[in-house]
Chains A and B, each alone.
Chain A
Amino acid sequence: MSEADPIIQIRGVTKRFGKHTAVDNVSLDIKSGEFFVLLGPSGCGKTTLLRMIAGFELPTEGQILIDGQDMAGIPPNKRPVNMVFQSYAVFPHMSVAENVGYGLKIAGVGRAERDERVREALQLVSLGGFEDRKPDQMSGGQRQRVALARSLVMRPKVLLLDEPLSALDAKLRAQMQFELSDLQDKVGITFVTVTHDQDEALSMASRIAVMNKGDIAQLASPSDLYEYPANRFVADFVGSVNVFEGKLTLDEPDRAAVECPGLGKVYLNHGVTGPHGADVWIALRPEKIYLHVPGEGKAIRAAGQDAPEDHNLARGVIKGMSYLGDITLYEIKLDNGAMIRVSRPNLSRHDQEHFTWDDRVSMHWRADSPVVLLG
């Protein structure tokens, strides 16, 4: 089997709970060796989808194949996947070694081999020497490592992780993000993770499926997801964004323009292939907007020359600012009344003092920054 073969194939899977449709006709392939993330707000169906792969929920319609084999009628204990639960589900009445060795014992692995594999697995998650501890003598982070080791020791084809980092504090979470990616590299097992945290998804995933109301809103790599969101939901859910309604006035292979009543004339240096005069939305990330003192802007932009004279420019008054340490976030009221968010890196210690409340400012952005959304 080559690396690119799908290890999991989800074909037209629907899951209904009574009248509520949790997962709505989803099809997707997960490739062998991927770090795949299901991202979405709570209630979007991502956990249900994960639990269907594990076998704890059964699809109302559709088919799930793991390694080419149809999983219908196969109970969770016979599937070649293992799961790390959101609450970790570490057995409180067993020691760490007993927890990690539980699955091997059931599989009938002999004592000597079992001990060896448990030791290896604990080493892998940096818990060497913790064999005899009880779960309630461990921190949340350590319990999670036990849960990881307990699943990895089974050498599953796919490891499923349900909100693996949600119960950890911010520092530990950042550290575990790196460790999980690292671990996945080391063991080469396909990881499928569910999360509602976009940072987590962007930092760990090789591919992300954003889910919304039981549907896949977009399936892409982290950078594509952020830079080329397919629709307003994804643009808004992944990162922070300014969205303006507008009409497509120009659309050629190498350029396009959109008239936004809120923002002004927006010029793009690529085509969008939408019908002329169509209603579209412009999404513009706060960090892609340059902020300057009025007058200064034109001069700076003149050097770039990537848009016609009166395009990709806006003016307004700062109505709010929040200093976040690494960046400062500005809320600016545009001259036509709309609000826009702009972020600016604090490149030097007193950078944030350049602009303050009620300052008049002008803004511009590059012609490849705005994203045109058709839906």
Chain B
Amino acid sequence: MALFARRPVAPLEYTRKTWMRLWVGATLVFLYAPLLVLMVFSFNDSKRNVAWKGFTLKYYEKALNNDTLVEALVNSLTIAALATVVSVILGALAGVMLWRFRFPLKGAVEGVMSLPIIVPEICMGVAMLIFFAKVDWPTDLPWPLNLSAITIAHITFCFPFVAMVVRSRMASFNREQEEAAKDLGASEWATFRDILLPHMKPGLVAGALLAFTLSLDDFVITFFTSGPDTITFPVKVYSMVRFSVTPEVNAASTILILLTIALTAVALKLQGVKGIAETH
């Protein structure tokens, strides 16, 4: 007790109980220690990730001079950006549709809309593989059109997430605001632009961040959809990990982790720490 508590612990202050703190601390160590070790060893001047031999940036240099790795990273970011834009549009429309209208088979549409979320990735990947093979989707297109199959697959599993976020955001919308705008003379379009859209915005931002991370994160579906010449970052890292564990992978991974942290920081700036906590 004396370790942390300066004043006595009140009954509901579970977080101030020592065993609780140790538990949370141990969990955070479990979650973060592997990532931290990975990042630290990306600067290690040794081929093996075992003992610290001194600081170096040479694996970063190596990673950045590895053309296929850089290409894979550029591909991944391009796919994520495209998939995010389309997913936010489709997701916003779908979210508004489900929030706003009553229509036949609504329950079924809602169910199908949630399927891409619950169907295992491997099954989606298989379906995409078979689909693009069946329709003979061209694989030899110039960049960035060669990424179209992967992008389409990513949009398919990202936009239902955006729809979910937007819909739950819209649930807190007071429809009287809309009526008030119309009462004051606003047209349908002006009402949408001035009243609905501003309310939807936090949902759109959260949805966009979610779509971007999901797309950047995806390995399985991409693994099945990518042609022989189109490679994404996770697919590239996968083959590197499969064949050898080298500090180069550490360096590449560290770059992506830093990218994730930067994205989180952007989200923090846009929504505030409370906003993030609420939207997820």
Q: Is B7 touching A56 in the complex (CB atoms < 8 A)?
A: no
Q: Is B8 touching A73 in the complex (CB atoms < 8 A)?
A: yes
Q: Is A57 touching B10 in the complex (CB atoms < 8 A)?
A: yes
Chain A residues 92 to 133 lying within 8 A of chain B, measured CB to CB, are none
Q: Is B12 touching A58 in the complex (CB atoms < 8 A)?
A: no
B185 at the interface (CB under 8 A from A): no
A55 at the interface (CB under 8 A from B): yes
Chain B residues near A76 (CB, 8 Å)? Answer: 11
Say how far B42's CB is from chain A's closest CB, in angstroms: 41
Q: Is A55 touching B11 in the complex (CB atoms < 8 A)?
A: yes
A166 at the interface (CB under 8 A from B): no
Interface size for B (C-beta < 8 A) is 5
Q: Which residue of B lies closest to A51 (CB)?
A: B10
Q: Is A56 touching B11 in the complex (CB atoms < 8 A)?
A: yes
The 0/1 profile, CB within 8 Å of A marked 1, for residues 1-42 of chain B is 000000110111000000000000000000000000000000
Chain A residues near B12 (CB, 8 Å)? Answer: 56
Q: Is B8 touching A56 in the complex (CB atoms < 8 A)?
A: no
Interface residues in chain A, defined as those with a beta carbon under 8 Å from any beta carbon in chain B: 55-58, 60, 73, 75-76
Chain B residues near A56 (CB, 8 Å)? Answer: 10-12
Chain A residues near B7 (CB, 8 Å)? Answer: 58, 60
Task: Report the separation of the CA atoms of residues A55 and B10 in the bound assembly, to the nearest whole angstrom.
Answer: 8
12 contacts between A and B (CB under 8 A): A55-B11, A56-B10, A56-B11, A56-B12, A57-B10, A58-B7, A58-B8, A58-B10, A60-B7, A73-B8, A75-B11, A76-B11
Q: Which residue of B lies closest to A56 (CB)?
A: B11
Chain B residues near A58 (CB, 8 Å)? Answer: 7-8, 10
Say how far B11's CB is from chain A's closest CB, in angstroms: 6
Task: Report the separation of the CA atoms of residues A56 and B11 in the bound assembly, to the nearest whole angstrom.
Answer: 6
* Given A56-B12, A58-B10, A60-B7, 9 other A-B residues pairs in contact with their CB atoms under 8 A: A55-B11, A56-B10, A56-B11, A57-B10, A58-B7, A58-B8, A73-B8, A75-B11, A76-B11
Chain A residues near B10 (CB, 8 Å)? Answer: 56-58
Task: Report the separation of the CA atoms of residues A115 and B11 in the bound assembly, to the nearest whole angstrom.
Answer: 30
Chain B residues near A60 (CB, 8 Å)? Answer: 7
Task: Report the separation of the CA atoms of residues A57 and B11 in the bound assembly, to the nearest whole angstrom.
Answer: 8
Say how far B1's CB is from chain A's closest CB, in angstroms: 12
Say how far B177's CB is from chain A's closest CB, in angstroms: 28
Say how far A81's CB is from chain B's closest CB, in angstroms: 14
Chain A residues near B8 (CB, 8 Å)? Answer: 58, 73
Q: Which residue of B lies closest to A57 (CB)?
A: B10
From B8, B11, B12, name the one whose CB has the most chain A CB atoms within 10 angstroms: B11
Q: Which residue of A lies closest to B12 (CB)?
A: A56
Chain B residues near A55 (CB, 8 Å)? Answer: 11
Say how far A54's CB is from chain B's closest CB, in angstroms: 9
Q: Which residue of B lies closest to A77 (CB)?
A: B11
Chain B residues 55 to 80 lying within 8 A of chain A, measured CB to CB, are none
Chain B residues near A75 (CB, 8 Å)? Answer: 11
Say how far B14's CB is from chain A's closest CB, in angstroms: 13
Say how far A131's CB is from chain B's closest CB, in angstroms: 30
From B7, B8, B10, name the one whose CB has the most chain A CB atoms within 10 angstroms: B10
Task: Report the separation of the CA atoms of residues A214 and B111 in the bound assembly, to the nearest whole angstrom.
Answer: 55
Say how far B230's CB is from chain A's closest CB, in angstroms: 54
Task: Report the separation of the CA atoms of residues A73 and B1 in the bound assembly, to the nearest whole angstrom.
Answer: 14
Task: Report the separation of the CA atoms of residues A316 and B8 in the bound assembly, to the nearest whole angstrom.
Answer: 61
Say how far B51's CB is from chain A's closest CB, in angstroms: 46
Chain B residues near A73 (CB, 8 Å)? Answer: 8
Task: Report the separation of the CA atoms of residues A56 and B8 in the bound assembly, to the nearest whole angstrom.
Answer: 12
Q: Which residue of B lies closest to A16 (CB)?
A: B7
Task: Report the separation of the CA atoms of residues A120 and B120 in the bound assembly, to the nearest whole angstrom.
Answer: 57
Task: Report the separation of the CA atoms of residues A364 and B7 in the bound assembly, to the nearest whole angstrom.
Answer: 58
Say how far A14's CB is from chain B's closest CB, in angstroms: 12
Q: Which residue of B lies closest to A55 (CB)?
A: B11
Say how far B129's CB is from chain A's closest CB, in angstroms: 47
Say how far B168's CB is from chain A's closest CB, in angstroms: 23
Say how far A155's CB is from chain B's closest CB, in angstroms: 22
Chain B residues near A57 (CB, 8 Å)? Answer: 10
Task: Report the separation of the CA atoms of residues A75 and B8 in the bound assembly, to the nearest whole angstrom.
Answer: 11
Say how far A267's CB is from chain B's closest CB, in angstroms: 54
Task: Report the separation of the CA atoms of residues A60 and B12 in the bound assembly, to the nearest whole angstrom.
Answer: 16
Chain B residues 107 to 141 lying within 8 A of chain A, measured CB to CB, are none
